Amino acid sequence: MKLSFDWLSEFVDLEGLSAAQVAEKLTMGAFEVEEVTPVGAEITGPLVLGEILEINPHPNASKIRLTKTRVAPGAEPLEIVCGAANIEVGHRIAVALDGACVVNRHDGSKLEIKISTIRGVKSNGMLCSAAELGIATDDTTGEGIYILNDLAGDRPLGTDIRDILDLKNDYILHVEPRSNRGDALCVAGLAREVAALFNRKLQTQTHGLDEFGKALDQNLTGQIKAQSQANECPYFSLRTINGIKIGKSPAYIAKRLEAMGLRTVNNVVDITNYVMHELGQPLHAYDLEKITGNTLTARFAREGEKITTLDGKERSLTPEVLVIADGDTAVGIAGIMGSKDSEISQQSSSIVLEAAAFDQATVRKGSRLLGLSSDASLRFERGVDRVQTAIASERACYLIAKHCTCEDAQLAIGDLQQAGDNKAQSKTVDLRLKQIDRILGISLDSQKIEALLTPLGFGVQDLGQQSGQATLRVSIPSFRQSDVTREIDLIEEICRLNGYDKIAAIMPSASMPAEAADTFVSRVKKTLTSSGLSEAWLSSLVPENEPGIDHDRVVSVLNPLSKDHQLLRQSLIPGLLKAVAYNQDRGRKDVWMFEAGRVYERVPSASSQQAASQTQGNLKGHTGSKERQLIAAAVTGEKSRALEAPLKPDYYLTKGLVENLLEHNDINLAKIAFRRVSDLYPWLHPHRAALVTLNRPAKPKKLDKAVSQSDIHRQDPSPYDHLDENITLGYVGEVHPRYKDQVGLRDNAWVFELDLAKLELERKPGKFKEIPNTPEVWRDLTCDFENQETEHQAVCAVIIKAGGPHLKTADLVSVFKSDRLSLTYRMTFQNPAETLTNDQVESSIQSIRKDLSDKLKATFRA
């Protein structure tokens, strides 16, 4: 909230303190002041009340006019040029004379007024708008001249404008509201904090409704009675006031409300707002004539009940919403906003003033359901002290009696009509002195604690030893009973009042060994960065039209702010390819990127129920969703290298990245198989993509009757549903040319995506094997296949199986395609125990050749 330094000084002695000092102390006392802005300081020099006597066209310009304005009683009128359209003869206005300084309404800078010639005519000053006087008003453009006929009354011309508008220098402190401190959302509440923090005296206000004794009329006829039908309105009070004249507020009220950032409406409404900001109690005034019957009742709304609120919107209510209703209909939403129909108008002469206490949670719930909040609901949600409802009502009546009267009618204020009670409840909290030391690490004695707490209205009584512990009994003032209910709440108060800086910083004592975490992901990232890929962090919230989404399993956001952030992603690839296109659009050709990130999916309900029953009693953590961490990459464009041929990506380079990633992170490539796949994702080339799987057969799906219904539902909740999810680690492939065009890629790209948790399960850090002393023997073998589709992996598997125990490696060294497919393998043999003989090697080669020709119809050249 915005706090006027000047207003604050009415409640606490600020002698010798600057606004900056108060701001600093409040900040370090739990009320952060985000900014301090000066108000009125820019207005200097001769600024007086004037009256417009004549308005004539400007001889040389059509958009500006020439006024004759009198600035002192009986003085010769001055010619002043004015561009505003809203002036009329007889208007009383603020005139800045030669040498005055006002605010430049365009940019807030200082504007110095001099006698000058405007398009050939001499102008002896300036007629001021509200903005030029440093006052914010409805007139947001600041172009209209501020008309002061109401505010200035019959003050003589030439009176200093600052006296009329109460334009004293002031500072506005922007105080961050605290969600648990409804009591401090007002001048009086913050004054209490300031008084305690500076150890200054709090000045209690006298509201003195008795000054208007003649206005009080207990027997006023037509008084509206108060009734509450809900426990959520524990106190409800009304006062009927007759003989009111609606008009503009006095300048000091208008100015302070404007400084708070509020619009001024009329004197009655402004006074209710003024008292709310002063004392923290929201008030509401109804037009008496618009109320049916003689009672206002706090009750819950009926289903479908309608109300048009002050903001002009019709709202449909539900029984969770507390309303104030007259004989027929709801005239206000309790604690949030009044109805349009019962609003105070210029013609209102009688009003009903409401001051009530409403339940915090009920107001918040209503506010959320209706999507409607107000300064009143902001305060009720945070807790309002019900003891001061009547005080606030009386304060408002005092101000109304002072500022809203007229000669035609006699102001009469009725009796306070009440339902429920607003008596202070006595609450105490016991505080064990040792607990302060245990939680804060600082020991304070009871005198110190008393000195800290008393200025905030707490009462401290020393109970001596209770159950062997020195204990204080602290009585809680009514306005703090919603946030101070426990010992720890008192410890916090003591901590902040004493100063956080008074607590010495020390390191926690005994240290425990920590588990190293995250090393696998970090290692994987290192493998990829050392292969030339840079890491991206992509949004996990993706657009509603994200490609490749399985809508049966998608997790979506119900309240997205933008269509770009509507679904939770199921793959990292679309985002990566978008990032690739983004970089390509900026002229970058080689874009090699990866991300380690999560994907999300909804778990189908059958297995979700099963999951729930497995964790019976822990439904509080059940979301019906699954998150997996993936590592994915996209590469496109040649990486140029100094003095060397560029590194050109293709399917095999990308597959090589996967193989490196696996092998460098302790996953034996012998355990891995690549299996041709098509139609897996819209972004994969149907003939240049492979699943990365474990090299073991998919488990046959059990079909016997032992399989329960839920097991069937539980099968592979993954996109790879035509393959066993248990052995699928991910995929690698070229980007489909259609997808490439759709996302606007400028070059071919290749991608892979792997499940990190599954990879981690397959990790097996190697153990040292003795280095053999025997020599390695190598042989090349070229095999020809008539079937051009013969795959390396199948050939290699046959070679390894047939090669016997001493075959160490079989590397593909050349591929040649003619009418036949020719693959050449280099095989190394080694027996660590003894040197292999030529015969032994030849016999291995023979069995390899035999198996290759039997199983894959391989032929061999002589």
Partner 1 sequence: MSEMPEESLNESIDQRLEKITTKALTAIEQANDLDALEACRVAYLGSKGAFTQIMQLLRTVPKEDKPRIGALVNEQKKKIEDRLEERKAVLYEAHLSAKLSSESIDVTAPGRRVPLGHEHPLSQIRQEIISIFYSMGFSTVDGPEIETDYYNFDSLNTPANHPARDEQDTFYTNLGPHVLLRSQTSTVQVRVMEKTKPPIRVIAPGRVYRNEEVNARKYPLFHQVEGLLIDKDVTFGQLKGTLQAFIKALFKKDLNIRFRPDFFPFTEPSAELDSQCPFCQGKGCRTCGNRGWLELLGCGMVDPNVLKEAGIDPEIYSGFAFGMGLERLAMLKYDINDIRHFYTNDLRFLEQF
Site for partner 1 in 429-448 (CB under 8 A): 437-442
Q: Which of 75, 85, 115, 503 binds partner 1 (CB under 8 A)?
A: 503
- Dump the DSSP string for 605-669: HHHHHHHHHHTTT-GGG--SEEEEEEEEEEEES-EEETTEEEE---HHHHHHHHHHHHHHTT--G
Closest of 223, 284, 595 to residue 418, by C-alpha: 223
Q: Which is nearer to partner 1, 116 or 539 (CB)?
A: 539
Q: Could you say which residues in the range 196-225 bind partner 1, by CB under 8 A?
A: none
CB crowding 504-533: b at 16 or more within 10 Å, else e: eeeeeeeeeeeeeeeebbeebbebbeebeb
Identified binder of partner 1 from the candidate list 540, 830, 853, 859, rule CB under 8 A: 540
Residues 825-844 interacting with partner 1 (rule: CB under 8 A): none
Task: Compare residues 34 and 650 and give the one whose CB is closer to partner 1.
Answer: 34
- For the bound state, the minimum distance from the C-beta of residue 551 to partner 1, rounded and expressed in Å, comes to 11
Closest distance to partner 1 from the beta carbon of 283 (Å): 21
Q: Does 812 bind partner 1 (CB under 8 A)?
A: no
Amino acid at 519: T
Q: What is the DSSP letter of 480?
A: G
What span, in angstroms and rounded, lies between the C-alpha atoms of 612 and 622?
7
Distance CA 308, CA 340 (A): 6
Cα separation of 383 and 364, whole Å? 11
Q: Is 525 in the site for partner 1 (CB under 8 A)?
A: yes
Instruction: Give whichever of 32 and 784 is closer to partner 1, judged by the CB atom.
Output: 32
Q: Find the binding residues for partner 1 in span 459-478 (CB under 8 A).
A: none
Which of 263, 306, 563, 641 binds partner 1 (CB under 8 A)? It is 641
What CA–CA distance (Å, rounded) separates 706 from 704? 5
Which of 531, 571, 636, 665 is in the footprint of partner 1 by CB under 8 A?
Answer: 531
The only residue of 15, 213, 218, 504 in contact with partner 1, by rule CB under 8 A: 504
In whole angstroms, the minimum distance from the beta carbon of 190 to partner 1 comes to 14
- Choose which of 76, 328, 518, 679 interacts with partner 1 (CB under 8 A): 518
Reduce the DSSP state of residue 429 to 3 states and report it: strand
Task: Compare residues 262 and 593 and give the one whose CB is closer to partner 1.
Answer: 593
Of the candidate spans 211-219, 411-419, 456-464, 506-514, the one that interacts with partner 1 by CB under 8 A turns out to be 506-514
- Which residues inside 353-372 make contact with partner 1, applying CB under 8 A? 360-361, 364-365, 368
Q: Shortest distance, CB of residue 240 to partner 1, whole angstroms?
A: 33
Is 758 one of the binding residues for partner 1 (CB under 8 A)? no
What is the nearest approach in angstroms of partner 1 to the Cβ of residue 642? 4
**Measured from the CB of residue 563, what is the shortest distance to partner 1 in angstroms?**
12
How near is the Cβ of 745 to partner 1 at its closest, in Å?
A: 15
Place of tokens 């003195």: 208
Does the footprint of partner 1 cover residue 766 (CB under 8 A)? Answer: no
Among 221, 511, 818, 838, binds partner 1 (CB under 8 A): 511
**Within 13 A of 283's CA, how many CA atoms are on the CB side?**
31
Q: Write down the least CB distance from residue 492 to partner 1, Å.
A: 4
Nearer of residues 430 and 489 to partner 1, judged by Cβ: 489
Retrieve residue 817's tokens.
């395609």
In the bound state with partner 1, the residue whose beta carbon lies nearer, of 336 and 344, is 336
User: In the complex with partner 1, which residue's Cβ is closer, 640 or 774?
Assistant: 640
Verify binding: residue 506, partner 1, rule CB under 8 A.
Answer: yes
C-alpha closest to that of 352 among 436, 244, 280? 244
Question: In this structure, are residues 592 and 653 in contact, taking their beta carbons and an 8 Å threshold?
Answer: no
514 binds partner 1 (CB under 8 A): yes
Q: Give Cα separations from 834 to 540, 771, 774, 810, 843 (angstroms).
A: 58, 13, 6, 21, 17
Nearer to partner 1, 525 or 806 (CB): 525
Looking only at residues 2 through 31 of this chain, which bind partner 1 when binding is defined by CB under 8 A?
27-30
Position of tokens 């110190």?
448
Cβ distance to partner 1 smaller for residue 59 or 617? 617
| Contacts to partner 1 from residues 773-792, by CB under 8 A | none
Q: Which two tokens stand for residue 572?
A: 């990292």
131 exposed, middle or buried (CB, 10 Å; 0-12, 13-18, 19+)? buried
CB of 515 to partner 1, least distance (A): 4
Q: Of 174 and 655, which has the nearer Cβ to partner 1?
A: 174
Beta carbon nearer to partner 1, 296 or 580: 580
d(CA 683, CA 694): 23
Q: Which of residues 27-56 bind partner 1 (CB under 8 A)?
A: 27-30, 32, 34-35
Q: Which helix H or strand E contains 28, and what residues bound it?
A: helix 19-28
Q: How far apart are the first and last CA of the chain?
A: 94
Of 535 and 854, the one with the shorter C-beta distance to partner 1 is 535
The position carrying tokens 């904090």 is 193
Nearer of residues 60 and 625 to partner 1, judged by Cβ: 625
Instruction: Point out which span in 165-173, 265-273, 639-647, 717-725 binds partner 1 (CB under 8 A).
Output: 639-647
Residues 6+ apart with CB under 8 A from 461: 472, 473, 474, 475
Tell me which stretch binds partner 1 (CB under 8 A): 119-127, 239-247, 538-546, 778-786: 538-546
How many residues sit close enough to partner 1 to count as binding (CB under 8 A)? 101
Instruction: Report angle CA 35, 40, 45 to the nearest 5 degrees.
Output: 145
Shortest distance in whole angstroms from residue 383 CB to partner 1: 9
Per CB under 8 A, which region of 57-65, 299-307, 446-454, 513-521 contacts partner 1? 513-521
CB of 180 to partner 1, least distance (A): 6
Among 425, 522, 787, 843, binds partner 1 (CB under 8 A): 522
Q: What is the DSSP string of 747-792?
A: S-EEEEEEEHHHHHHT-------PPP-SPPEEEEEEEEES-TT--H
379 binds partner 1 (CB under 8 A): no
Give Cα separations from 18 to 3, 23, 323, 639 (angstroms): 14, 9, 44, 63
Q: Is 491 exposed, middle or buried (0-12, 13-18, 19+ CB in 10 A)?
A: middle
Distance separating alpha carbons of residues 709 and 472, to the nearest angstrom: 64
Neighbours of 361 (CB within 10 A): 11
Question: Of the candidates 356, 533, 673, 756, which one interacts with partner 1 according to CB under 8 A?
Answer: 533
* Nearer to partner 1 among residue 124 and residue 377 (C-beta): 377
Handedness of CA 175, 176, 182, 183 (dihedral sign): negative
What are the angstrom distances between the C-alpha of 408 and each of 173, 335, 403, 404, 701? 41, 34, 15, 12, 95
Residues 482-501 that bind partner 1 (CB under 8 A): 486, 488-489, 491-492, 495-496, 500-501
Q: 412-413 and 235-242 as β-strands: parallel, antiparallel, unpaired?
A: antiparallel
Residue identified by tokens 């990506």 is 649
CA–CA distance, 259 with 262 (Å, rounded to integer): 7
Instruction: At 483, list the tokens.
Output: 């946030």
Show contacts with partner 1 in window 541-600 (CB under 8 A).
Answer: 541, 554-562, 565, 568, 579, 582-583, 586, 588, 591-594, 598, 600
Min. distance of Cβ 834 from partner 1 in angstroms?
A: 37
| Contacting residues for 188 by C-beta, under 8 A, at least 6 apart | 11, 205, 278, 279, 280
Contacts (CB under 8 A) with partner 1, residues 643-672: 643-644, 647
Q: Residue 89 or 488: which CB sits closer to partner 1?
A: 488
* Sole window of 178-186, 261-269, 340-348, 664-672 interacting with partner 1 (rule: CB under 8 A): 178-186
